[in-house]
Structure 1
Amino acid sequence: MRKNKLGKTDMVVTHLSFGGIKLHKNMPDKAENIVSKALDLGINYVDTARCYGDSEVLIGAVMKNRRSECYLSSKSIRRSKEESAEDVNISLKNLNTDMIDLYYCHDISREQHYEKIMSDSGTLPALKEAQKAGKIRYIGFSTHRADLAMKAIDSGEFDAIMLSINLFDQEFIKDVVPYARKAGIGIVGMKPLAGGAFQHPQVALRYSLAQDIDAQLVGISHISEIEEDFEIADNFKSLTDEEMKKLEDEAKELGKDFCRQCGYCLPCTVDIEIPKVFLYERYAKRYWIGDYAKEQYALLEVKADECTECGKCEERCPYELPIIEKLKSAHELLK
């Protein structure tokens, strides 16, 4: 498979790389086996985050014996210097390593988050100290906002940037990617399937891999998925006009106002499983399995109509979705 130098770092990463967001203890295919399979295939960049549940620990179990085979990255979603420093130490322990190659300021998608992490009491100083101490090698920045990505690049403080790379996020592809490339900053793609929204995932992945990025992360739930994705990347083919039209038609149908299933809106103050509600709504609207969607919705302990409209979820959503109103319409469809 093609490998690319990650910006000005000395990391040479596989074009298709492993995203640990979907890993958890109760997977049908054991999480450790999935990570091991990725390494067996030659994938050499593995990404995770402190807020990805058990992901760091599960990856760390594999790193006990295979740390030398890959580059590791993790992320802190905390904003203060003290908490971010604590996260780095926890990540090191969880991942069974004494050094993490790349550590990101995670999901900087609001102006106030950017200002906080860049301040003397924020995440960036903590990561610089960790870098000086040899705990991490490079510092990254992940975001869902193109304007903040530009600010991060202009700051000169970051070695790599993580962006959503799919047909919906054209601002990143058309504006941020060439800007980062010119600045010599490593470019890591996430969300190639837009949170599972595309009905033709293989085509969507090929679209993302065709962009001018160094690594495209894929979240994996089954061994068969990493095998299929590896095959796509290893024998890459550009999209045909027909395939491109298929993706564009899907994008028009979805619009911009849809849930990417990132889960950053959680926890809900009354325990509504917000991403699941929107997933079942998608099943009913786009996959023509309305009866199944309603059955699954009925099994949720807390229904969407129990929303208290506190607004906490909307504050957290990196895509600034009108979650409260969307929950109301989803409940009407699924009840």
Structure 2
Amino acid sequence: MERRILGRTNLEVSVIGFGGIPIQRVDNEMAVKLIEESCNRGINFIDTARGYNESESLIGEALEKVGRDKFVLATKSMKRDYDGMLQELSISLKDLRTNYIDLYQFHNVRSLEELDFILSENGALKALKEAKEKGIIKEIGITSHSPEILDKAIETGEFATIQCPYNPVERQAEEVFKKAKEMNIGVIVMKPLAGGAITNGELSLRFIVDNPNISVAIPGMDTLEQVSSNALVGIDKRKLTDEEEKKLFEEANSLGSQFCRRCGYCLPCPQNIDIPVQFLMEGYYTRYNLKEWAKSRYDAMERRAVHCVECGLCEGRCPYNLPIRKMLKNVVKKLG
């Protein structure tokens, strides 16, 4: 597995890391197998978050059995204030069953005002800097879906890493990644498959790791097959052929700009609609010529797009500012 230096942290990380969102869907036994297989395949970077439900707990149990010292461990929190961050850090340490965390990140910073508060006297950065002085965390990072916010963040000099979506559909952060590399700041890529919207994961990952400004990409994995195939990208290091690049970008262009990355931040819906799944079924129906299958799956759901009452709560949570209500109406138009 190819390894790269994670900016000024000087941590040596596998170019393919383990994204911790999907692991919450598996049981304890499978979680251990996934982390063990990742280790065997040369993956040594794990990224999770307080907000990923049982992810930290499952990973913590797995690390206790596979070996904490075999991984560079990163997690993150949505807390912006001093006291709240201290509480979150304490929970992370307990759930991850460790006495230190290699990288603790501010999760999904969505505005410059949020960034300013984090940096303020009563902000959460103060809590993490104190924890770093005690050796409880080694480095501090920040994640956002906005290149503009990350650009401002790296100018402060307070963050050793940044994390942002990047894939053949979403390339808006390329200049920020270049700037970060020049400033010796580590670059972590989330949403490398555009939240599952890109079906050819291998080609997308090969496109991403070919960018020398990127330290590590973190596809989410919940099967041993995914671990094996994703890890292979970091092992064989083949560049895309012209034909493969054409195939990849044809699919990327077909997605347009307004598509669901299935991050789940829009949930829970007051009407109990699984919003990302609505768009997933619409994608199968529209783009992948699986009309009958998608329609039958959609019709079998108890709560569907048609049950949306347009309250708009989902749109306020969406990090991509998608017009979810309008998009759900489009699902109804196509699937009924």
Indicate whether the TM-score tops 0.5. yes
Contact 2:267–2:314 under 8 Å retained in 1 = yes
TM-score if structure 2 supplies the norm length? 0.95
Q: CA deviation at 1:154?
A: 0.5
Aligned partner of 1:321: which letter?
L
What are the ranges of 5 or more consecutive residues in structure 2 without an aligned counterpart? none
Q: How does 1:221-260 map to 2 (within 5 A)?
A: 221-260=222-261
1:95 matched to 2:131: no
Contact 2:35–2:63 under 8 Å retained in 1 = no
2:218 aligned counterpart, secondary structure: strand
Separation of aligned partners in 2, 1:258 and 1:202: 20
Q: CA deviation at 1:29?
A: 7.8
Aligned to 1:3: 3
Contact 1:29–1:223 under 8 Å retained in 2 = no
Aligned partner of 1:100: which letter?
I
Aligned to 2:112: 111
Q: CA 1:88–1:331 in 2, change beyond 3 Å: closer, same or farther? A: same
C-alpha RMSD over aligned residues: 1.6
Q: CA 1:53–1:185 in 2, change beyond 3 Å: closer, same or farther? A: same
Separation of aligned partners in 2, 1:231 and 1:91: 30
Aligned partner of 2:333: which letter?
E
Of 17-26 and 150-159, the range deviating more from structure 2: 17-26
TM-score if structure 1 supplies the norm length? 0.95
Contact 2:143–2:164 under 8 Å retained in 1 = yes
Aligned to 1:197: 197
Q: CA deviation at 1:80?
A: 2.4
Q: CA deviation at 1:269?
A: 2.2
Aligned partner of 1:275: which letter?
P
Aligned to 2:68: 67
Aligned to 1:148: 149
Q: CA deviation at 1:39?
A: 1.1
Of 26-35 and 239-248, the range deviating more from structure 2: 26-35
Q: CA deviation at 1:85?
A: 1.5
Q: CA 1:147–1:224 in 2, change beyond 3 Å: closer, same or farther? A: same
Aligned to 2:310: 309
Q: CA deviation at 1:140?
A: 0.5
2:257 aligned counterpart, secondary structure: coil
Q: CA deviation at 1:26?
A: 3.6
What are the ranges of 5 or more consecutive residues in structure 1 without an aligned counterpart? none
Separation of aligned partners in 2, 1:83 and 1:299: 41
Separation of aligned partners in 2, 1:29 and 1:211: 35
1:23 matched to 2:23: yes
Q: CA deviation at 1:199?
A: 2.7
Of 189-198 and 89-98, the range deviating more from structure 2: 189-198
Q: How does 1:151-230 map to 2 (within 5 A)?
A: 151-173=152-174, 175-212=175-212, 213-230=214-231
Separation of aligned partners in 2, 1:29 and 1:251: 36
Equivalent pairs counted in the alignment come to 334
1:195 aligned counterpart, secondary structure: helix
Q: CA deviation at 1:25?
A: 5.0
Q: CA 1:26–1:2 in 2, change beyond 3 Å: closer, same or farther? A: closer
Deviations 1:10-48 (A, max 9, x none): 311111111111102546981221111101222111111
Contact 1:277–1:304 under 8 Å retained in 2 = yes
Aligned to 2:335: 334
Separation of aligned partners in 2, 1:25 and 1:252: 30
Deviations 1:223-265 (A, max 9, x none): 0111111122100111111111112211221101000111111
Separation of aligned partners in 1, 2:192 and 2:25: 24
Determine what percentage of the aligned residue pairs are the same residue: 39
Q: CA deviation at 1:106?
A: 0.4
Q: CA deviation at 1:321?
A: 0.5
Aligned partner of 2:91: which letter?
I
Contact 2:169–2:253 under 8 Å retained in 1 = no
Separation of aligned partners in 2, 1:120 and 1:306: 45
Deviations 1:24-81 (A, max 9, x none): 2546981221111101222111111011111111110122130011110000022222
Q: CA 1:192–1:25 in 2, change beyond 3 Å: closer, same or farther? A: closer
Deviations 1:198-234 (A, max 9, x none): 1322111110111121111121121011111112210
Separation of aligned partners in 2, 1:328 and 1:162: 32
Q: CA deviation at 1:129?
A: 2.2
2:46 aligned counterpart, secondary structure: strand
Aligned partner of 1:263: which letter?
G
Contact 2:74–2:105 under 8 Å retained in 1 = yes
Separation of aligned partners in 2, 1:284 and 1:117: 43
